[in-house]
Amino acid sequence: MFDFLKKTIKSWVGTKETKPTKKKESKNTKKKEQKTKPSKKTQTKAEQQTEQEIETLLTPETKEETYAEQPKESFFSKLVRKLTTSQLSEADFNEAFEDLEITLLENNTAVEAIDAIKSSLQKDLVGLNCKKNEAQQKILASLQGAILSILQEPPAFLKQVTTAQPYVILFFGINGTGKTTSIAKVAHYLTQNNISVVLAAGDTFRAASIEQLDHHAKALNVPCIKGTYEADPASIAFNAIEYAKAHKIQVVLIDTAGRMYTKTNLMKEMEKIIRISKPNLKLFVGESITGNDALEQARTFNETAGIDGSILTKADIDEKAGTILSIAHITNKPIYFLGTGQKYEDLLPFTKKTVIKNLGL
């Protein structure tokens, strides 16, 4: 998680001051160049003349700079240099930020989330002038603060689910994001912590969806309330809640069919499930790998159904954590868990502390 930022920070801090270095030519590369350079004999007169003109245009200094591999000065070292030479102006900051902006964009971070990080850093750093060591600390602390300010700390989940009985959690999202698997993982996590659960097979639409949830229920040794295919998912949710009340089960986990947020009728069905089951927690399940698409999903589900929090799955497939930042920023709701694989244990409770640890800040 956040490996891209961790790597970036590592490379920043490890980067030496960035005067263009003179390329050291090894004997081998010199030899290679000599081999590939056409011999004067095989060159035409015109070619020899052009080469001479170029040679005279290049002073010894410019020759070295042109051929040297110039290391790109990072956001971090640019800022350190500017902070330590004079007060950091807004223009200097903007220029330095471009580098971080590209890193964030390349890692699926939405423009809105980048803007939030930028304004947070800007507030802390513009106008500052300090010593080198202090500057390094200040930039890292400011970056840490910027990231943390985007993320919401989720409530302690195991405590939260005891605030009502039964505590009803509804899972929704588009097709194939990992809703059913996440329900099984959450059921496993809760039962491991001595909290009883019942599953509701509210996806009555996709072929084999009921058997899929039932299979998990059997493996985890928890009850599963089912209906028939095409049955009203709201009534299955209702039955599961009644079952929980009758059997003193603490948490009801309701599965729903994957639905495209653009399909009005399916979103209407979702509203009905919510109206009937009155969930205590509505969790949006999105893939952490889908970037901007996941954002659109989160935005629309939030507008239609209201999101209390998210589970971001498949974090094991991609290190790009931009989606995490973006969804947290757009929904302004906590991320509860990250799905990190296909096993029941592959569920990582998400906290700000884990982010800091992963960032190595």
Q: Shortest distance, CB of residue 180 to Mg ion, whole angstroms? A: 3
Q: What's the CA gap between 334 and 346, in Å, rounded?
A: 19
Binding of Mg ion at residue 313 (CB under 5 A)?
A: no
Question: Exposure of 150 by Cβ count < 10 A (0-12 exposed, 13-18 middle, 19+ buried)?
Answer: buried
Tokens in use for 185? 């993982």
Nearer to ligand GTP, 82 or 282 (CB): 282
Nearer to ligand GTP, 176 or 360 (CB): 176
Residues at the interface with ligand GTP (CB under 6 A): 175-181, 203, 206, 209, 258, 313-314, 316-317, 339-342, 346
Nearer to Mg ion, 109 or 180 (CB): 180
CA Rg value for the chain: 28
Nearer to ligand GTP, 184 or 359 (CB): 184
Q: Shortest distance, CB of residue 339 to ligand GTP, whole angstroms? A: 3
Q: Shortest distance, CB of residue 225 to Mg ion, whole angstroms? A: 15
- Nearest Cα residue to 4 out of 223, 341, 330, 319: 319
Strand partners, 224: 199
Place of tokens 């509505």: 282
Nearer to ligand GTP, 216 or 329 (CB): 216
Q: Shortest distance, CB of residue 171 to ligand GTP, whole angstroms? A: 8
Nearer to Mg ion, 114 or 210 (CB): 210
Q: Shortest distance, CB of residue 215 to Mg ion, whole angstroms? A: 12
Q: Which does 51 bind (CB under 5 to 8 A by kind): ligand GTP, Mg ion, none?
A: none
Number of residues that bind Mg ion (CB under 5 A): 2
Strand partners, 310: 284, 335
Q: What's the CA gap between 226 and 17, in Å, rounded?
A: 64
CB neighbour list of residue 242: distance below 8 Å, 6 or more residues apart: none
Its sign, for the CA torsion 130, 134, 138, 140, is positive
CB neighbour list of residue 294: distance below 8 Å, 6 or more residues apart: 286, 287, 288, 312, 323, 326, 327
Q: Which does 322 bind (CB under 5 to 8 A by kind): Mg ion, ligand GTP, none?
A: none
Nearer to Mg ion, 103 or 204 (CB): 204
Q: Which does 178 bind (CB under 5 to 8 A by kind): Mg ion, ligand GTP, none?
A: ligand GTP
DSSP state of 315: T
Q: Shortest distance, CB of residue 53 to ligand GTP, whole angstroms? A: 59
Residue 255's identity, in one-letter code, is D
Q: Which does 313 bind (CB under 5 to 8 A by kind): Mg ion, ligand GTP, none?
A: ligand GTP
Q: Map residue 116 onto helix, strand or coil.
A: helix
Q: What's the CA gap between 123 and 255, in Å, rounded?
A: 43
Binding of Mg ion at residue 204 (CB under 5 A)?
A: no
Q: Shortest distance, CB of residue 70 to ligand GTP, whole angstroms? A: 40
Q: What's the CA gap between 322 and 43, in Å, rounded?
A: 53
Q: Shortest distance, CB of residue 202 to Mg ion, whole angstroms? A: 10
Binding of Mg ion at residue 180 (CB under 5 A)?
A: yes
Nearer to ligand GTP, 5 or 201 (CB): 201
Tell me which residues touch Mg ion (CB under 5 A): 179-180
